Structure 1
Amino acid sequence: MSTKRLGFSLWSEEDISDALELWGNPEVTKFITSNGKMSEKQVCERLKKEIETYTNANVQYFPLYLVETNKNIGCCGLRPYDPKNNIWEMGIHLKQQYWGKGFAKEASSAIIEYAFNTLGVNALFAGHNPKNTASAGLLKKLGFVYTHDEFYSPTGLNHPSYLMTKETYTTKQVK
């Protein structure tokens, strides 16, 4: 999968340096963990979890690379959320130097298209730390609709949570 500027790949154990650069940065993790930091061990566990998610569900938060330079800029993808109802969770984590350049919207749009058109999901779920206003704005721009607050154990907070249904996605594409 790719976009004009981004290529998607699969995490492997050899990607530990990219994972450490991403999830080892407190500016990146300040909204995704309770203390805002991930130790090297926690980053290794997160990488292992992404690899296992792909093995078990054929999705993960796929590593993102700049097409032009092959430089890793973060990850964006899916994971199971409510398999019984064919609802998947979408998420994105970008390295700080790539914030504010439109990469989050570009990558997320590609994942949304992949989820609905290739995987045939019924809906996508997404949530964000209540202090992360950039993520809130991104989800709204993408067409997600706020549904409720949901407790997220890694932060210990209730996160604003959103849904994009197949109908919402289809209607948005027609416009």
Structure 2
Amino acid sequence: MRDYFLRTKRLGFSIWNRVDVKYANSLWGDQNVTKFIVADGKMSINQIQNRLDRELEMYNQYHIQYWPVFLLKTNEHVGCCGVRPYNLKENILEFGIHLKSNYWGKGIAQEASHAAIDYSFNTLGVNRLFAGHNPKNTNSERLLNKLGFKYTHKELYPPTGLKHPSYLLTKQDYEQR
């Protein structure tokens, strides 16, 4: 049984650890997920391990990460959702979510996102959240709009080599939704 530091009605947020390779492989090894994350559309085993290592290091250094998310009822891993540094000087974190494709369209993305955003503003005390999405990922665009993020600019995202639409969400805007 995993420990969850954050819960919603259906979901539990945990912390990545070294033995979570199977979860990392099932998430970032799914080309339906990675087609929007990396330029060639798929991650190698080494790239997946490097991604997991970066999440572990992020937690060790900043106590944040794209946390692994599980269904409370079954303990099934559904993906990850969380934050990472974006502009620490201005107290802005980057928000992101990656869900396994078999959990798309079930309201999990919105439920997890609300929890991570609320945690970021009310527990971590950030000023704003930044988010971006692959220009081909219209579902992410819809989600960010539903969550109250406001489009600001396009920004080059080196892993895809594309300029991603980019957004900001302030605590005030989030609370007024």
Q: Give the TM-score normalised by structure 2.
A: 0.96
Aligned to 1:158: 163
- The correspondence for 2:138, drawn from 97, 119, 133, is 133
Which amino acid in 1 is paired with 2:45? Answer: E
Q: In 2, Cα distance between the equivalents of 1:90 and 1:72?
A: 19
Query: Cα RMSD between the aligned structures?
Result: 0.5
- The correspondence for 1:34, drawn from 30, 39, 46, is 39
Give the gaps of 5 or more residues in structure 2: 1-5
Q: In 2, Cα distance between the equivalents of 1:119 and 1:143?
A: 19
| 2:107 pairs with 1:102 | yes
- The correspondence for 1:58, drawn from 36, 55, 63, is 63
Aligned partner of residue 119 in structure 1, secondary structure: coil
Kindly state the Cα deviation for residue 171 of structure 1 after the two structures are TM-superposed.
2.0
Aligned to 1:45: 50
Which residues in structure 2 correspond to 1:59-74 (within 5 Å)?
59-74=64-79
Kindly state the Cα deviation for residue 150 of structure 1 after the two structures are TM-superposed.
0.4
Q: In 2, Cα distance between the equivalents of 1:151 and 1:85?
A: 20
Aligned to 1:13: 18
Kindly state the Cα deviation for residue 135 of structure 1 after the two structures are TM-superposed.
0.1
Q: Deviations over 1:104-125 (max 9, x none)?
A: 0000000010011111100000
Q: Percent of pairs identical after alignment? A: 60
Q: What is the count of residue pairs matched by the alignment?
A: 172
- The correspondence for 1:81, drawn from 81, 86, 96, is 86
Which amino acid in 2 is paired with 1:123? Answer: R
- The correspondence for 1:167, drawn from 149, 154, 172, is 172
| 2:28 pairs with 1:23 | yes
Q: Give the TM-score normalised by structure 1.
A: 0.97
Kindly state the Cα deviation for residue 169 of structure 1 after the two structures are TM-superposed.
1.6
Runs of 4+ in 1 over 3 A off after TM superposition: none
